[in-house]
Structure 1
Amino acid sequence: MFSCSVITVLLLFIVSIIVSKNVEGYQPVLQKTVEALFTDKSQVIYPGACKLITPSSRQAKMCKRNPSLPKFLQIARNQAIAACEEAFRYDRWNCSLVFNRKVKRNIFNKIYRETAFVHALLAASMTHAVAKACASGDLTRCSCYGSFGKNSSWKIGGCGDDFKQGKRVTRNFLEFKQAGTDQIGQVLKQDVVVGIDTMGEQMREVCKCHGFSGSCTTKTCWKRLGPFNSAMGLLKKHFHHAVKQKILNYTVKRAITPKLRNKLKVDRTKLVYLHKTPNLCISTKGRVCKDRNNCATLCCGRGYITTKKTIHFRCRCRMANCCAVQCDTCTQEVDIYTCK
């Protein structure tokens, strides 16, 4: 017969395993959607109205109401992945889904710093794609901007990049409100909000004058977002300043109360993650550095191999026959640095 103390220890051990699995393995629709969009870069068409992913009933209804939505989800996915790979090209993590080729640890297995960033990145990209689609008239149910202030004498017209609509569609499609009130849900929602707010900070007012001889009697003004890549600097800054939050010892069904929130000291303007990133040094073998200084970080002290490469580029361009541009082809030998 087991003593009560032994049984108690065994029960606590089993409960701790269940709690750990719940915290690490629980995936709300929000996380599943982000993972599906960031993972699948193929041209696979899924059954249902959303085409890019296997949708929830709520997402399927949104795609049915607006058949153009999948097109802009595709744009959002492509521009997010392209911008991420460009921005992290010379970092130890280069937007790969796997941290370590040998262990094959996926970034979506837990909530790492990189996982938090991808949630913010895709939320920002979706907001941008929908806002731009509103301005072009490719998406319906978009609001046009009114006056920018009570004292404004400008004539406002047209429809700008509709950030509010982009934010609304992104939150609804990711099922933001249904992500949960537990720690995982709160962390994922905060990361999404950081991404959307980053996009909102890129809004700029653009005006066009109207009148005889450029007198600017009236102005037509609207809001405009820059290229998505223009937001990557701020998003990457959020990545580097992300905050690791302590994992609370409770099941995923327990909500975050104001008392627990104060205990966690959550800064609403920062990305939040729960798990430490595994060692990335093994995965940088064979990677190309930007320069020697970059190799010192990227190669993790293992050193690098220098090789020569001949590149061809256009040079000595000039006007010919009034309107044509003619260029010579020049060659140059450059050094390529590759991590050992």
Structure 2
Amino acid sequence: MARSSGLLERKQARACRAAPDVMPSLVQAAKDTSYICQQAFRNRRWNCSSIERAPNYTPELLSGTREQAFVYAMSAAAAVWRLARGCALGNLAACSCATPPRREPPSPSALIASSSLTSRSVSFDAMSARNSFKWGGCGDDVRSASRMAKRFLQGSSAPGSGSTSKFMHAVNMHNNRAGRRAVEQSLTLECKCHGVSGSCSVRTCWRGLDSKGPAAAAIRLFRKYSTAAEVRPKTGSRLPPLYHHDNLLYTTKSPDYCLPDKKRGSLGTIGRQCNGSSSGYEGCEYLCCGRGHVTKTREILERCECKYISCCYSVKCKTCKNIITTYECN
């Protein structure tokens, strides 16, 4: 049904049929991407509201802009995070806990300096023993999750057969990979202490994902959004060499998003609320593009100074008037 309605392409529908248990994770990843993107850009001229129209994207998410690069990378990062958690929770048949690293666990001195240590007292004599540390627990299987996400997300085909379309597809796939890499780089060392009376004679360590969810990877990707590199095809549809796989790439300069322009996917900022006392991105000067703003005040009535009346098991409140001031772009 999703295939016939255009929500999934042929290769994606095939991947869905082959592993239907991954779909709930991918659906949640799509919701994560929408929420995180709108939160990250809520104070920018482009506020990611157009992502709600997926898969019927507006031009700014189809023409190779920085914004498109972020959305592609974030969707991949969210997919990897959700799939990795699904693996660790035993919800997916194709994976479970991560295979322990081949290298030995970190030295005791490295663990002492690590922020992942608990506040429990540690016996330094016990920690100095070589066998005090071992890999264990259930680490997040980011490698398997990344492989599954890649299979699904890169199942989308190039929008056309020309060299330009193929090049755009190559850029999108590069940004997908950058998103997956952002999750891999978000893995942190977690350890649990074992021993009599807090002696920590044995410490079990594993590598896990941040409890903040895909937002941890989003912080990395938002920084990369600001430093994204513009690329042009050199030969055929291939990407130019020497572009680091962690960078975000774009092919088309973004509009300034100040005024409505359907052809370029700009909704404009007319009517957007801004901060009248800020000089940052959310400030009226920047958000309103120098057009000025109007100040609006309204009075609201709220309950205040509430007191609990013990004799009657009731709460008695006063009614207070509050003045709310808002600023809207012209």
TM-score normalised by structure 1 residue count = 0.69
Match of 1:268 in 2: 245
Superposed, which structure 2 residues align to 1:251-290 within 5 Å? 254-256=236-238, 261-262=240-241, 266-282=243-259, 283-290=268-275
Match of 1:234 in 2: 220
The share of aligned pairs that are identical, in percent, is 31
The yes-or-no answer on 1:82 pairing with 2:35 is yes
Return the offset for 1:107. 2.1
SS at match of 2:177: helix
Return the offset for 1:160. 2.1
- Whether the 8 Å contact between 2:233 and 2:240 is mirrored in structure 1 is no
Larger mean CA deviation between 112-121 and 290-299 belongs to: 290-299
Return the offset for 1:136. 1.4
TM-score normalised by structure 2 residue count = 0.71
Match of 1:335 in 2: 325
Distance across 2 between alignment mates of 1:118 and 1:144: 28
Match of 2:127 in 1: none
Letter in 2 for 1:46: A
Superposed, which structure 2 residues align to 1:37-56 within 5 Å? 46=2, 53-56=7-10
Distance across 2 between alignment mates of 1:235 and 1:183: 22
Distance across 1 between alignment mates of 2:303 and 2:81: 34
Letter in 2 for 1:339: C
SS at match of 1:46: coil
- Whether the 8 Å contact between 2:139 and 2:208 is mirrored in structure 1 is yes
Match of 2:140 in 1: 161
1:292-313 per-residue CA deviation (whole Å, 9 max, x = no partner) reads: 3221111100111222356799
Q: 2:81 aligns with which of 128, 135, 142?
A: 128
SS at match of 2:98: coil
- Whether the 8 Å contact between 2:186 and 2:209 is mirrored in structure 1 is yes
Structure 1 alignment gaps of length 5 or more: 1-44, 99-103
Distance across 1 between alignment mates of 2:202 and 2:289: 59
Return the offset for 1:266. 3.1
Letter in 1 for 2:173: K
Distance across 1 between alignment mates of 2:249 and 2:150: 18
SS at match of 2:80: helix
SS at match of 2:140: coil
Return the offset for 1:105. 5.4
SS at match of 2:274: coil
Match of 2:289 in 1: 300
Cα RMSD (Å): 3.6
Measured at CA, do residues 332 and 117 of structure 1 come closer, stay the same or move farther in structure 2, by a change above 3 Å? same
Larger mean CA deviation between 200-209 and 213-222 belongs to: 213-222
Larger mean CA deviation between 59-68 and 149-158 belongs to: 149-158
Match of 2:175 in 1: 191
- Whether the 8 Å contact between 1:73 and 1:126 is mirrored in structure 2 is yes
SS at match of 2:186: coil
- Whether the 8 Å contact between 2:89 and 2:96 is mirrored in structure 1 is no
Distance across 2 between alignment mates of 1:190 and 1:313: 52
Measured at CA, do residues 301 and 178 of structure 1 come closer, stay the same or move farther in structure 2, by a change above 3 Å? closer
Distance across 2 between alignment mates of 1:80 and 1:119: 9
Measured at CA, do residues 266 and 295 of structure 1 come closer, stay the same or move farther in structure 2, by a change above 3 Å? same
Q: How many residues align?
A: 275
Superposed, which structure 2 residues align to 1:150-229 within 5 Å? 150-152=103-105, 153=131, 154-175=133-154, 182-226=166-210, 227=212, 228-229=214-215
Measured at CA, do residues 78 and 177 of structure 1 come closer, stay the same or move farther in structure 2, by a change above 3 Å? closer
Match of 1:106 in 2: 59
The yes-or-no answer on 1:245 pairing with 2:224 is no
Measured at CA, do residues 247 and 148 of structure 1 come closer, stay the same or move farther in structure 2, by a change above 3 Å? closer
Measured at CA, do residues 183 and 64 of structure 1 come closer, stay the same or move farther in structure 2, by a change above 3 Å? closer
Letter in 2 for 1:165: S
Match of 2:121 in 1: none
